[in-house]
Amino acid sequence: MDIKAAKRELKKARTVLQMDELKCRKRVLRRLGFATSSDVIEMKGRVACEISSADELLLTEMMFNGLFNDLSAEQATALLSCFVFQENVSYLLN
């Protein structure tokens, strides 16, 4: 097998793996109510898209389940501080 054929086979295998991963991710989003069965983004999905500094799915689930409703501002701040993406703030620590 020549190099070009091997590269084509590798690319084809990666594409298949990526499609399988995409199917699994879409299934999770549908089961959690972030998207419909026809892959239309629901309100939860739109909210998750706006979150960029932490785990989008987890925080959206917490919001939609009313977890923050009974917390004080201090408690909500303390809880949310646990989700700050550390890579973004690591330069401040050095």
pLDDT tens, 63-78?
999 999 999 999 999 9
pLDDT confidence of residue 13: 81
Structure tokens at 80: 């949310």
Map out the domains of the chain as residue ranges. Answer: 3-93
pLDDT confidence of residue 91: 57
Which of residues 44 and 52 earns the better pLDDT score? 44
Which residue, 61, 51, 53, 69, is CA-closest to 31? Answer: 61
* CATH (residue range 3-93): 1.10.3380.30
Lowest mean pLDDT among 3-12, 24-33, 48-57: 3-12
Whether residue 92 has pLDDT greater than 60: no
Listed in sequence order, the residues at least 6 apart from 88 whose beta carbon sits closer than 8 Å to its beta carbon are 53
- Say which residue the tokens 């925080």 belong to: 59
